[in-house]
Amino acid sequence: MKWNRSITIGLAKASCAFCHGHGVRPTRWELEAPCRCVFRAVFRACYNRFRECAAHAEHTSTVSLDHCHGRDGRRHYGRKHEEYMADFCLISRRLLDEFEYRIFRFHFLLGADWRLCCQRMGIDRGTFFHAVYDIEQKLGRTFAELEPYPLYPLGEYFGGVVRQPGVAAPIPEPPMTARRRRELQIPMLEAVRAA
């Protein structure tokens, strides 16, 4: 995903102390980068969809038929909800270290509140919330910038067009004009007409 102000301003937190609701913050070399609150918003959107998919578990076995344009065919069968939940968990497992993944599993996957997580892991409240913010930021950035098929934006994952890398769209031919018809005439046909 290419980050610009029009994308980040919609995701930014209005009370953010770093970006003041603009979604971008300056870096050392006077360039702009997305703010951490934007990445946390991306994670929360993906996490809310994960919870929706988990809540509707009795409907996850249905197969959806998606239309796509590619050289392999025009239809694609899949179980979008199950695939999304698996992608969400596998990406998180691969990206987070052991401590972060334990917090992620207890708090986000199993639904434990901060008191239970702190008691179970033997950490204080501040350490827990700093780790939660770091997890949200790290996973949010990854979910949005994952290549070739990111988890965010959710509309593209669940109902968007399936794009295959390296497949170019066909180039439309220009309309046929009298001059172009003369240029495309076959020389043998002209010889036959002349005879």
State the SS3 of the chain: CCCCHHHHHHHCCCCCCCCCCCCEEECCCCCEEECHHHHHHHHHHHHHHHHHHHHCHHHCCCCEEEECCCCCCCEEEECHHHHHHHHHHHHHHHHCCHHHHHHHHHHHHCCCCHHHHHHHHCCCHHHHHHHHHHHHHHHHHHHHHCCCCCCCCHHHHHHCCCCCCCCCCCCCCCCCCHHHHHHCCCHHHHHHHHC
Tell me the average pLDDT across 158-180. Answer: 55
User: Does 67 or 25 have the greater pLDDT score?
Assistant: 25
pLDDT in tens, 48-105: 999 988 888 776 566 777 666 666 666 767 778 888 899 999 999 999 999 999 999 9
pLDDT in tens, 95-147: 999 999 999 999 999 999 999 999 999 999 999 999 999 999 999 999 988 88
pLDDT at 163 over 60: no
Domain ranges of the chain: 45-160
Task: Please give the pLDDT value at position 59.
Answer: 66
